[in-house]
Amino acid sequence: MEVTANTHAYPALRSSEQSYLQRAWLRFRKNRLAVISAGVLVFMGLTAGLAPFIAPYDPNAIDLSPTGLLQPPSAAHLFGTDDLGRDGFSRALHGARISLAVGFIATAMAMAIGTLVGAVAGMLGGWVDNLLMRSVDILLSVPLFLLIMISQTLVTPSIFTVMIIIGLTSWMDVARLVRGDFLNLLSSDYVTAAVVVGTRRSGIAWRHILPNAINTIVVAATLRVAQAILIESALSFLGLGVQPPNASWGSMLQKGLVRLLDAPWMVWFPGILISITVLAFNFVGDGLRDALDPKQVV
């Protein structure tokens, strides 16, 4: 009923062939902030990917001459230079690679673990569900950031350990969300139908429930990337993440903290970049949440 009413309201969309994704895209497109944010992220991703070609200077090239050290932003050095005379803009470009890589890979790990735990808990129910969900409760009561910091002293801190540790410590709320979706969908008629015709449990989980839980997963993943970038920058800021001479936005801020007096630009730009990136992921995640909701009509 609703759909017919709406195709009349939007004659251009009358085609009945429209797929779910097409309709989702139409809804997403209407959210201006989300579209702009997606554009920003694509741009960010491209510049990060092409950093070695775009960067005007070698990000680790040191220039200790009086004309190279602690230069304020200028045409030659868009973001100024740091206390070793390294070009802030080039370092920020290379830092983007690290932030985005950590964000995506840590999130991929968290999503994989969280989806698996949530799906198993939701599917099997009973004591397995109880055990898994109580473990999630307990892990969420742990001072996680402290644990991440301690874990970083376990290993030689590097970008890879940062990814793994963030991934291992941020899957819990994903597990909760996915379990919730599984429980909901398990009681739906089409799943009952699948059970009646004798589909195996793994088949039901993979082919019938997971595709319908994908919305939740995609939205959670987008917001998780934002969180992972924030955690990475905090760790690098504390010196427990990316190690010198490599640049990450967080480690650039760490160097800037002691130079607030004479070179405040060292903290301006990396902070703005972190904020914009995280903000963009949050806006896109929010836009996706609305767009992917199948109950919404165009």
Partner 1 sequence: MQRLIIQRLLLAVPTLFVVSILSFTIIKLAPGDPVRMYVSTGLSQGNQEDIERIRRNLGLDRPLHVQYLAWLKNTMQGNLGYSLSSRRPVGQILLEKLPASISLMGISFLVSLTIGVLVGVISAVKQYSLFDYSVTVFAFIGNSIPSFWIAMMLIWFFAVELGWLPTGQMQSYQPTASPLLDYARHFVLPVATTSFINLVGWVRYQRASMLEVLQQDYIRTARAKGLKERSILLGHAWRNSLIPILTLIGFSVSNLVGGSYIIETIFSWPGMGQLGFDAILKRDFPVIMGVTLLSAAFIILGNLLADVTYILVNPKMRTSGSEL
- Which residues in this chain contact partner 1 in the complex, by CB under 8 A? 134, 137-138, 141-147, 149-151, 153-154, 226, 230, 233-234, 237-238, 253, 256-257, 260-261, 264, 267, 271, 274-276, 278-279, 282-283, 286
Burial class of residue 171 (count of CB atoms within 10 Å of its CB; 0-12, 13-18, 19+): buried
**Which one, 286 or 290, has the nearer CB to partner 1?**
286
Peptide bond into 157 cis (omega under 30): no
Q: Are 258 and 136 in contact (CB under 8 A)?
A: no
Alpha-helix runs per DSSP H in the chain = 2-9, 20-30, 32-49, 51-54, 88-124, 126-140, 144-154, 159-169, 172-186, 189-196, 201-203, 210-237, 249-257, 265-292
Q: Are 273 and 252 in contact (CB under 8 A)?
A: no
Distance CA 270, CA 275 (A): 9
**Which one, 214 or 276, has the nearer CB to partner 1?**
276
Distance CA 184, CA 177 (A): 11
Query: In the block, which residue shows the tokens 């062939």?
Result: 17
**Which one, 123 or 252, has the nearer CB to partner 1?**
252
Min separation Cβ 134 and partner 1, Å:
8
**Which one, 137 or 293, has the nearer CB to partner 1?**
137
Min separation Cβ 31 and partner 1, Å:
13
Cα 26 to its chain centre, rounded Å, is 23
Give the DSSP letter of residue 170.
S
Min separation Cβ 195 and partner 1, Å:
27
**Which one, 21 or 138, has the nearer CB to partner 1?**
138
Spell out a b/e string for 235-256, using b for 16 or more CB atoms within 10 Å of the CB, else e.
bbbeebbbeeebbbbbbbbbbb
**Which one, 210 or 259, has the nearer CB to partner 1?**
259
Min separation Cβ 47 and partner 1, Å:
19
**Which one, 153 or 187, has the nearer CB to partner 1?**
153
Q: Are 28 and 218 in contact (CB under 8 A)?
A: no
Min separation Cβ 240 and partner 1, Å:
8
Min separation Cβ 137 and partner 1, Å:
7
Min separation Cβ 244 and partner 1, Å:
16
List C-alpha distances in Å: 256 to 251, 265, 269.
Answer: 9, 8, 10
**Which one, 57 or 249, has the nearer CB to partner 1?**
249
Min separation Cβ 102 and partner 1, Å:
14
